[in-house]
Structure 1
Amino acid sequence: MRRLLALAAVVVACMGFLMFGGAASVAQAQEAGRAIADYRLGSGDKIRVITFGEEALTGEFFVGGSGKVSFPLIGEVQAAGLSAPEFQRAVEAALKEGYLKEPRVSVEVLNYRPFYILGEVTKPGEYPYTNGLTVLNAVATANGFTYRANTKKVFIKRANSDKEEELALTSSTQVAPGDTIRIAERFF
Structure 2
Amino acid sequence: MRKLCGFIFALFMSLMAINAAYGAQPVYTLGSGDKVRITVFGEPDLSGEFEVSGEGQISLPLIGIVTAGGKTLHELSSDIETKLKDGYLVDPKVSAEVMNYRPFYILGEVKEPGSYPFVNGMSVLNAVALGGGFTYRADKDDILIIRGGDESRKPEKATPETIVLPGDIVRVEERFF
Which amino acid is the alignment partner of residue 73 of structure 1?
L
1:139 pairs, out of 103, 109, 128, with 128
1:61 aligns with 2:54: no
Deviation sequence 1:41-73 (CA, Å, 0-9, x none): 111111010000011011111011111101011
Deviation at 1:91, TM superposition (A): 0.7
1:170 aligns with 2:163: no
Tell me which stretches of 4 or more aligned residues in structure 1 moved more than 6 Å. none
Match of 1:77 in 2: 66
Q: Is the 8 A contact 1:153 1:166 kept in 2?
A: no
Give the SS at the match of 1:170: coil
1:91 aligns with 2:84: no
What TM-score, normalized by structure 1, do the two folds share?
0.84
Deviation at 1:168, TM superposition (A): 4.6
What TM-score, normalized by structure 2, do the two folds share?
0.89
The whole-number CA distance in structure 1 between the counterparts of 2:92 and 2:18 is: 39
Match of 1:47 in 2: 36
Gaps of 5+ in 1: 1-7
- Aligned residue pair count: 176
Deviation sequence 1:80-132 (CA, Å, 0-9, x none): 11111111011111111221111111111121111100111111110111222
The whole-number CA distance in structure 2 between the counterparts of 1:161 and 1:176 is: 15
Higher relative helix content: 1
The whole-number CA distance in structure 1 between the counterparts of 2:44 and 2:75 is: 22
The whole-number CA distance in structure 2 between the counterparts of 1:86 and 1:118 is: 32
Match of 2:94 in 1: 105
- Identity over aligned pairs, percent: 48
1:18 aligns with 2:8: no
Match of 1:4 in 2: none
Gaps of 5+ in 2: none
Give the SS at the match of 1:28: helix
Deviation at 1:20, TM superposition (A): 3.4
1:29 aligns with 2:19: no
The whole-number CA distance in structure 2 between the counterparts of 1:135 and 1:180 is: 10
